[in-house]
Structure 1
Amino acid sequence: MKKTCLMILAGTLSTIPPLHAQNQTLAEIRNMRMFETRSAGFVLDRDQSVQIELVGALGNGRGHKLLGTSAWILNAKTREVVWQARSGEERRRSRKLLELQDTAALDKGEYEVYFSSFYYGFYSSDDVKGFGDAIGNVFDRIFDWNRRDERFDDQIYDEAMIVVKGAGRAVPDATVDEWRRELTRDAIVTLTHLSDEAYERQGFTLERPMDVRIYALGEIRYEESYDYGWIMNAKTHEKIWQFSYRNSEHGGGDKKNRLFNEVISLPAGDYVAYFVTDDSHSSREWNATPPYDPNFWGMVIRPAETSMKAYVKNFEYADPPETNVIVKFTRVGDNDYHSQGFTLKKALPVRIYAIGEGRDGEMFDYGWITDANTGKKVWEMTPTPARKFGK
């Protein structure tokens, strides 16, 4: 009887992973500096709850407790945020540091953990519950902003860290880089990891109608776009899709980080994908808290069904040759005024391609055509039926 009990106990113990295997360090990021974002990768061989230990810079403003630190975990395949430092068992480590212990239930798979040391300079509207909170946030910003360097410095970030533990294994940075390359291997267009003042474009042909997934991250506010992209029909020059505030969602980090991750349908045809950035806030150097997927700043377009990649061809797009041009005004500067006369020997249709600035029914940069004999205006660029372009 005693022997049987020992055999049963031995069989039971063999199904339980060793304790050290359940508490392996899967990812660890330490020795941060101000305005830095770093990542590490790990693999889980089974579904489980991982343990997360975080030491971050503590803020005295409203809303975010970790005003000088942010951390999150991405599913490496889906790019979905599966955990972020919002709540957990907290303990104040010092006047400027907060310890956070938390768990995250994760499925078997590959993951990337991120740690960022950017200051949350602007409150989230989600944190404002009423007029009093809004006024309080304004005063926090006025009286705390100039003291942020005193409260958050490199010495503070020497102690900041994140450690993820569980049953799995850590992977080197080269493996994480390969995971990211794998996501673009079957892409139609890859315009990512863009720096400041970039202007990138890629032509592509769809031999069949196709559903494509667009994954785009950029800098867009409600009133204006700064880092964004669009798709143009290469033959007609018609813009058929644009990354805008209205069709996107918050991409994590600062409020101006926007994400588009949807499937759209395109007819067979020739297209050009564009992505442009302004002079600041990009994957080369962030000027505010970066998005959750900072390495994909820009745009990736891929078939919704991988098998459809066989019906895609890429080409280098070139602007059409300037033939039969009657009048051309380009690269017009501020306060410029240009005019040029022309004569038509017979009535004929002409194509006008013009880009200018207009808002709320009023034009600021625009053109017009007048009859030289009568002075009558025969055409003018107006907000309607002009099509919105760019910002």
Structure 2
Amino acid sequence: MRKYFVFLGILTVVSCRLFAQEEKLVMRNLDDFQVQVAGFVLEDDRTVHIHAVGAGGDKETKQIRNYQQDRFNMYAYCWIINSDTREMVWRMTIDNTEQTGDLRLSREFNGNVHLDKGTYEVYFAAVKPGWHILDGGFFSVSKLLKYIFSDENEWEDSSRDWIVEIDRVDEVYQRRDVKKILRAKRRNAVLSLTDTDDDHTAKKGFSLSQSLKVKIYGLGEGYKGKMYDYGWIINADTRETVWKMRENASEYAGGAVKNRLFRDEIELPAGNYLVYFRTDANHSSNAWNANPPYDPYFWGLTLFPAEEDFEPDIIKEYKEKEIKPIISITKVGNDAYIEKVFELKEKASLRVYALGEGMAGDMFDYGWITNDETGETVWKMRYKDTKHAGGAGKNRLVDEIIELPPGRYVVHYQSDDSHCYDDWNMRRPQNPEKWGITIYPASKSARYARVVREPRKDDTQVLARLTRIGDDEHVRKRFTLKKKSRIRIYCIGEGDWDEMYDYGWIENVKTGRRVWKMRYSKTVHAGGAKKNRLADTIITLKPGTYEVHFKSDDSHSYYDWNDDPPRQPKKWGITVYKLDN
């Protein structure tokens, strides 16, 4: 009896398949948008018939010489992806199509394709190629001549024949239906940053009440080790980057070779997180300047739960609160040097947010923090610690948490003579009004930080001051230490190519031995002309009498600059401070 019912069930399914009305997907007017989309459903494994007409070159590209190129060398073409796995399952290529009609660009596919049971999305992209990449090539006289003598209406003429027809499907989805399906997938994600504008940084946050394993699905733009449209995840409390799109960890995403795909799985502990996606000035889901990826509407960064049985209630939206800064030095212009002082009564965590200019490992507009008592640099904006701030590649950003003991601190920011707030010589960063350095409290103790309006009176700590030095001078001053002491040396002079021209040194009077000398390799840029150099260091000296020297050459001094002066011109020379009581 049981076998009888099973047999009847099988007959019912087969008869439904035999008598069911199969549908046909048809896509026309394919030149209306850069990317067209439709969809279909197969209720069982099936061989479907596809007829598609598009455009392409006459051979595939063997050697990629341009990040805009598509290795398949198609310009208008169809492909299919599995809606659940997001994998491409079929596409038009030069090899599986034939030139059709009288037009050189026209390519046609007419054949059967076997597909598994499932829901599929059908895409058609049409991105008119530039003459320099026709046939997937690179600059040559022959291709230039081909472009000059080609029919300028060939693209438009070819587009009239573009079509996609897929027979033997069970259900057809129109463009609006597919868009609904995609929106539902994004709603069911932990977080999704897609459909972002060009030249923009999108940000969303989420909180986890317990750890969660997530699948990361990202599409961006990158080539030869660099990313141009990319995303990253940070811990909102520590500002630590926990994941980032890196070109060398990506795979080809379809279309132009610069389209990059990221599939990863990580476990996030309980906490607050911020997800960012940054785009450059072109090539995104709003407007492609080359062939789009296979999954164009997921351009961006999306996080899915890695396990189906996760508890949705552990995920909450997180919005970063606007916190009043302790110190803000922003909207900094050219040739500026600005400093502000604050005081901590107890150990505190601080968030440092700094925007500046840097290239090839060096910073030109940057900030740093010094201990007001010792002069020691406790934090500095270094190129290797920065990331792209949007806009031009030289716009650099630091956003990190530091911890400082009780004390008084000076926040400094200096800029060079170009590319600053409201006077950019290349594309501005994403948050131009933040150009400079901002210090926020990151712990309860930091909220009680006090901004110091008056600078510290340190004259009582000065052992020797030889400043405002002119041309051709050699000045000296002695001081005596009764016990072993730590001293701070602050010396501004002139130097270039590993040689100093205006510089200071200290000698032990009894022995005549130099205990310190200003060496170019131990200096940093002092602002203004590159030859303005600063040495700011701390050394320990034994009891005794010492003589401080400063010597200048015949040009570029406090009274007679032959180039831009340093940011602290009145300190041209050497000052020695005593740090121990």
Tell me whether the two structures share a fold, i.e. TM-score over 0.5.
yes
Q: Is the 8 A contact 1:34 1:157 kept in 2?
A: no
Are residues 1:93 and 2:96 paired? Answer: no
For residues 92-141 of structure 1, give each alpha carbon's deviation from its aligned partner in whole angstroms, at most 9, with x where no partner exists: 322322222233221111111111111455769xx99xxxxxxx644276
For residues 138-196 of structure 1, give each alpha carbon's deviation from its aligned partner in whole angstroms, at most 9, with x where no partner exists: 42765556778826422210111121222423223333223212312321212212222
For 2:114 and 2:144, locate their aligned partners in 1 and report how far apart those are by CA, in whole Å.
Answer: 40
For 1:152 and 1:287, locate their aligned partners in 2 and report how far apart those are by CA, in whole Å.
Answer: 19
Task: Name which of 81, 87, 106 aligns with 2:88.
Answer: 81
For 1:253 and 1:276, locate their aligned partners in 2 and report how far apart those are by CA, in whole Å.
Answer: 20
Partner of 2:114 in structure 1? 105
1:211-222 → structure 2 map (5 Å cutoff): 211-222=213-224
Q: Is the 8 A contact 2:208 2:270 kept in 1?
A: yes
The amino acid that maps onto 2:237 is K
Partner of 2:338 in structure 1? 339
Range with bigger deviation, 364-373 or 308-317: 364-373
For 1:350 and 1:46, locate their aligned partners in 2 and report how far apart those are by CA, in whole Å.
Answer: 59
The amino acid that maps onto 2:42 is L
Q: Is the 8 A contact 1:89 1:102 kept in 2?
A: no
1:229-378 → structure 2 map (5 Å cutoff): 229-308=231-310, 309-322=312-325, 324-325=326-327, 328-332=328-332, 337-342=336-341, 351=350, 352-358=352-358, 360-368=360-368
The amino acid that maps onto 1:342 is V
How many corresponding residue pairs? 363
Range with bigger deviation, 186-195 or 63-72: 63-72
Structure having greater relative contact order (Cα 8 Å, sep ≥ 6)? 1
Partner of 1:210 in structure 2? 212
Q: Is the 8 A contact 2:45 2:117 kept in 1?
A: yes
Deviation at 1:336, TM superposition (A): 5.0
Partner of 2:26 in structure 1? 28
| Gap regions ≥5 residues in structure 1 | 1-10, 129-135
For 2:383 and 2:332, locate their aligned partners in 1 and report how far apart those are by CA, in whole Å.
Answer: 19
Q: Is the 8 A contact 2:233 2:273 kept in 1?
A: yes
- Counterparts in 2 of 1:170 and 1:348: CA distance versus 1, 3 Å: closer
**SS across alignment from 2:297:** helix
| Gap regions ≥5 residues in structure 2 | 1-10, 62-70, 394-581
For 1:69 and 1:360, locate their aligned partners in 2 and report how far apart those are by CA, in whole Å.
Answer: 40
**SS across alignment from 1:153:** helix
- Counterparts in 2 of 1:293 and 1:239: CA distance versus 1, 3 Å: same
**SS across alignment from 1:101:** strand
Which of the pair has more CA radius of gyration? 2
Partner of 2:48 in structure 1? 50
Q: Is the 8 A contact 2:103 2:158 kept in 1?
A: no
- Counterparts in 2 of 1:204 and 1:338: CA distance versus 1, 3 Å: same
For 1:65 and 1:344, locate their aligned partners in 2 and report how far apart those are by CA, in whole Å.
Answer: 62
Partner of 2:158 in structure 1? 156
- Counterparts in 2 of 1:320 and 1:162: CA distance versus 1, 3 Å: same
Range with bigger deviation, 351-360 or 304-313: 351-360
Range with bigger deviation, 144-153 or 87-96: 144-153
